[in-house]
Structure 1
């Protein structure tokens, strides 16, 4: 990509929002593994806001997602009413600035800064796993309570998987996936078939954030959820889409700088500890547990295979995609067994 002055795009967006307030500095605070752009904007009066800039996907989906998130942040009940960072509003609607030129079509949304308490330790003990499981259960329950008050979403798991199949039929897709076309197509079709067999399309749909990496949220000293600020993978879907990252948080391996997305955390005893605590607070169903395999398959197909080059810097994307073809997808049906999880929950 040609040189693009992203700071200038952020300044242009702010001028469209409120030209009377002068920007002093713009600091890039983006995650080091991601291609997304996040900035801390400091004004002459000392106040600060956060700017998020994106340029992949569709502008309409960007606006749709952030409209849902902003509504969610305002509608969540106690104790989560201040959990999510809120976007800036202009007049009566969410403010989104669209910048277009010969090189890029980019979109900017502004957030109010959110307070951060404690990041999770890199490895949790069993008591911490149980406390966090109950918190996630309560958060999901709150999201379920207000789900019908949110703007509509056009994205579904089925639509995203069918979109990947469409991409592979294009000339660019034939080139990009030429070595793995048959494998990807097989797993897309398996996903669609198994979702139908499970009747998973009828599972309740709630707001899910998918990427519960320990760098994306904070907790208080009692392990209550305190704040969340990263929304890159947000969608409306089954709550089970969140559970692979819950398993990673619970994993005996703990958080690592060099990471992979193997299915193994879903089969750990420590994840069963998490599930039992979550289930006690907000019961799961047999269909949801059986759907976990397809939720993981979707995660690999959509966020690693299809969009990996957008969500991760090239070195990470290449590594994760190669592992997807060599391990994640071919070993999934051998490694994932829902029976130990169902037995632990007496389902």
Structure 2
């Protein structure tokens, strides 16, 4: 991609939003492993605004997701009424700026800055795992309670995997996936078969953020969820979509600078402790626990293989895709045992 002045697009978006309030400076606060662009905007009156710029995917999905997120942030009941950042409105509508040129089609949304308390520990102890599980159960219950009040979502898990298969049938896709086509098609077929077997489309759908890590949420001193930012992988789906990344947060090795997306954390005793605590508050069905295997499979197929080069910088995407092909996808049937989790939960 040729050089693009993203800050200029942010300025253009702000002028379209409110040209009467002048920008003093723009600071790039983007995560360094991602291709997404996030900016802290300081206005002349010292006000702070957060701007997010994206150019991957579809404009319609971007607007849809942020409309749902903004509705969720307003509708969540206590104690989560301030958990999410609120987007800026113009008139009665969410403000989204679309910049179209010969080089790029980019979209900008603005947020009010969100307060941050304590960052989660790099490695949780057992008492902290129990407290975190209680909080996630309560948060998911709140999202479940208001699920009928947020706008509908047009994205589904099947749509995303079918999109991967469609890409593989194009000239670009045939070249990109030529060495792994058989593996990808086999994994996609397993995914569809297990979705049907588990009747996963009948699971209640709630807003989920999928990507949880110690760098995108904060806690109070008593270990209650306080705030969450970074909504790149947001979708409306089964609550189980959150649990692979939760397993990574509570894993024995903890958060790491150099990371890999192995299936191991889903089978750790520490994650089982999390599940048992959560289950006491917001019980699972046996089918939901079995679906964890497909949550992991979907994550690899969609976020790593299909979209990895858009979500991660090239050096990370290449590494993660190589690991997915050579180790992680082949390990699913061998290393994930739902029976162990079901037994622990008495399901």
Say yes or no: TM over 0.5: yes
Q: What is the DSSP-based 3-state SS (H/G/I as helix, E as strand, rest coil) of the residue aligned with 1:102?
A: coil
Q: Is residue 313 of structure 1 aligned with residue 313 of structure 2?
A: yes
CA distance in 2: counterparts of 1:205 and 1:55, whole angstroms: 27
Show the 5 A alignment for 1:117-266.
Answer: 117-266=117-266
Q: Matched residues in 2 for 1:328 and 1:64: separation?
A: 32
Root-mean-square deviation (Å)? 0.5
Moved over 3 A (4+): none
CA deviations 1:173-201 (Å, max 9, x no partner) are 10111111110111011100111011111
Partner of 1:93: 93
Cα distance, 1:45 vs. partner? 0.4
Secondary structure class of the residue paired with 1:82: coil
Following TM superposition, by how much is the alpha carbon of 1:106 offset from its aligned partner in structure 2, in angstroms? 0.1
Aligned-residue offset at 1:281: 1.0
1:278 shift after superposition: 0.5
Shift of 1:346: 0.4
User: What is the distance in 1 between the residues matched to 2:337 and 2:272?
Assistant: 13
What is the alpha-carbon distance in structure 2 between the residues aligned to residue 202 and residue 181 of structure 1? 30
Give, in whole Å, the separation in 2 of the partners of 1:240 and 1:255. 21
1:59-98 per-residue CA deviation (whole Å, 9 max, x = no partner) reads 0000000000000000000000000000000000000000
Counterparts of residues 276-295 of structure 1 (less than 5 Å): 276-295=276-295
Any idea what SS the aligned residue of 2:253 has? coil
- Residue segments in structure 1 that go unaligned for 5+ positions in a row: none
> What's the counterpart of residue 270 of structure 2?
270
3-state DSSP class of the match of 2:337? coil
* Paired position in structure 2 for 1:49: 49
Cα deviation digits, residues 227-277 of structure 1 (max 9, x gap): 001100000000001000110011001000000000000000000000001
Q: Gaps spanning 5+ residues in structure 2: where?
A: none
Rounded to whole Å, the distance in 2 between the matches of 1:345 and 1:3 is 53
Distance 1:223 1:322 in 2: 37
Secondary structure of residue in 1 paired with 2:39: strand
Q: Distance in 2 between matches of 1:183 and 1:339?
A: 25
The Cα of 1:172 is off from its aligned counterpart by: 0.6
Distance 1:176 1:319 in 2: 15
What's the secondary structure of 2:49's corresponding residue? Answer: strand
Aligned residues: 347
Q: Which residue of structure 1 lines up, in the alignment, with residue 67 of structure 2?
A: 67
SS in structure 1 of the partner of residue 291 of structure 2: helix
CA distance in 2, matches of 1:270, 1:123: 11
Which residue in the other structure is 1:4 paired with?
4
In the aligned structure 2, how far is the partner of 1:146 from the partner of 1:248? 27
| Structure 2 partner of 1:81 | 81
Partner of 2:324: 324
| TM-score normalised by the chain length of structure 2 | 1.00
Counterpart secondary structure, 1:24:
strand
Q: Distance in 1 between matches of 2:291 and 2:68?
A: 25
Q: What is the deviation of 1:52?
A: 0.1
CA distance in 1, matches of 2:130, 2:65: 31
